Structure 1
Amino acid sequence: MELIAGKKFKLPVWEAILRTMRPGERARFRCESKHVVLYPLVAKSLRNIAAGKDPLEGQRHCCSIAQLHEHYSLGYPDLDELQKNPQPLIFDIEVLKVEEPGSYQQDPWAMTDEEKLQAVPLIHQEGNELYRQGKVQEAATKYYDAIACLKNLQMKEQPGSPDWIELDQKITPLLLNYCQCKLQSEEYYEVLDHCSSILNKQRQSLLQAGQGSRGRVECGRGAG
């Protein structure tokens, strides 16, 4: 597991623990229940990552019923029990490596909004270079990271607003590059799904543009 100090992505108590440790050190800490109330949610995210899923799966755009269900069931019996009855937890931690700020490339989730926007062109370029080298899977990962940055920013905008549309337009070429990689990897279902989505958006945009043009012509006739 990686943890970036100051981002509060996981449990604040973990940051307090790690600040007392040195690289190569292994120690055991007992944390009172008040410090680990959110552990079941964090644990679910970590398990999703280990399974190759979205770490926030089930936590976005849920209706009230889904959120109610999410509150009572995390999909893991042991985490559900811990959520109902919080307990002190013991963490056995070994510090493998410490990296200084600026010495590593941040993951998209750890970036600020401004950092995400600045990183997208660079990640896109890295993906293109990897693709030219024939490293298709690595290129797909880069395109996916760039898309994730833009999607995260898009979620903060009102759907259909100018800023939302601008971000969506930046996502499309990255998604097409990603699909090209998946096509070469013979992952056809994912390619069909994404490309169909892009075509549907383009079709809707053309229809809306056509309706807008007809509306202006009709108004002109009425005024004449």
Structure 2
Amino acid sequence: MADQVAELRADGIQKRLVQEGRGPQPDYQDGTKVTFHYRTLLCSPDQRVLDDSRTRGKPMELIIGKKFKLPVWETILHTMREGEMAEFLCDTKHVVLYPMVSKSLRNIAAGKDPLEGQRHCCGIAQMHEHHSLGYPDLDELQQNPQPLIFAIEMLKVEVPGTYRQDPWAMSDDEKVKAVPLIHQEGNELYKEGKVQEAAAKYYDAIACLKNLQMKEQPGSPDWIQLDQQITPLLLNYCQCKLLNEEYYEVLDHCSSILNKYEGKAFCWPHHALVGNGKQL
């Protein structure tokens, strides 16, 4: 452990142990799943908090070796054991991409990720999006890069083969095979009255398809086929949000669908739009 801490310090990362972990040091082979809570703080006298996973009600999950966009997280997690709590002060060179990563994590927590790329916007709006991340504190950090502090609590370390792989960590072939199963799981949960859980399943299935669609040429046959698979899932997702009285999100999502198919014949059952409780 002393060697690891020395290597961190030489690379511009300072570790402060807050609570000892338990058990042996994991080897963190590729495919290991780590579950942890994190807080991101500015390196300033008041140590203002940028992000806190606890406020979102769900810890962060990361698969080692999947090339997460913030490599320093893998670096610091490699030094931790289950149950350990520690703070890491990271030089600016390690956290330049944090504003973009934070934006993605915030959007996912807000349920925006499944609809990425579906909204129609004018050139001015696209230019604004290019220069702004949509969060003032992240815009400020992007314009003024600085060291950050990550306060990490390691909750669980799972070796490959001991957990069910999350959709986002699957290969393309695995995503294609998983979508129908996730869709069915969502329908079953909906029938059982577990609306929130069903929405999460539809979310996962949409995210898989959107990831696949991003790799196709817009308007190509494969892209259109994926888009047609997304639509019924998105309508089911909206049905769940409607029952949860999240009306603005439902209006936003349904408007994006209507705009996309404006002037075209709808190819799904009409009951999907009137909210009679049936799932496609």
Tell me the TM-score normalised to structure 2 length: 0.59
Choose from 79, 87, 99 the match for 1:28.
Answer: 87
Asked which structure has the greater RCO (Cα within 8 Å, sep 6+), the reply is: 2
By how many angstroms is 1:27 displaced? 1.9
Q: Distance in 2 between matches of 1:111 and 1:61?
A: 29
Distance in structure 2 (CA, Å) of the matches to 1:198 and 1:52: 20
| Larger strand fraction of residues | 2
Distance 1:29 1:176 in 2: 43
**Residues 1:99 and 1:185: Cα distance change in structure 2 (over 3 Å):** same
**What amino acid maps onto 2:99 in structure 1?**
P
User: Cα–Cα, structure 1 residues 78 and 56, in superposed 2: closer, same or farther, change >3 Å?
Assistant: farther
- Pairing 1:149-168 to 2, within 5 Å after superposition: 149-168=208-227
Residue 194 of structure 1 pairs with residue 265 of structure 2: no
Q: What is the aligned residue count?
A: 205
Unaligned runs of 5+ in 1: 207-224
The answer to whether 1:106 aligns with 2:159 is: no
Distance 1:85 1:55, change over 3 A: farther
Between the aligned partners of 1:11 and 1:159, the Cα distance in structure 2 is 28
More off after superposition, 14-23 vs 65-74: 65-74
One-letter amino acid matched to 1:9: F
Paired residues of 1:28 and 1:93 also in contact (CA < 8 A): yes
Q: In the alignment, does 2:177 pair up with 1:118?
A: yes
Q: What is the Cα deviation at residue 82 of structure 1?
A: 2.6
Between structure 1 and structure 2, the one with the greater Rg is 1
Deviation at 1:118, TM superposition (A): 1.4
Cα distance in structure 1, aligned partners of 2:162 and 2:252: 39
Structure-1-length-normalised TM-score = 0.72
Q: Residue 146 of structure 1 corresponds to which residue in structure 2?
A: 205
Q: 1:122 to 1:195 in 2, by over 3 A?
A: farther
* 129-138 or 61-70, which deviates more: 61-70
Superposed CA RMSD in Å reads 3.6
Name the counterpart of 1:204: 264
Structure 2 distance, partners of 1:197, 1:136, is 22
Identity %: 77
Post-superposition offset of 1:162: 1.8
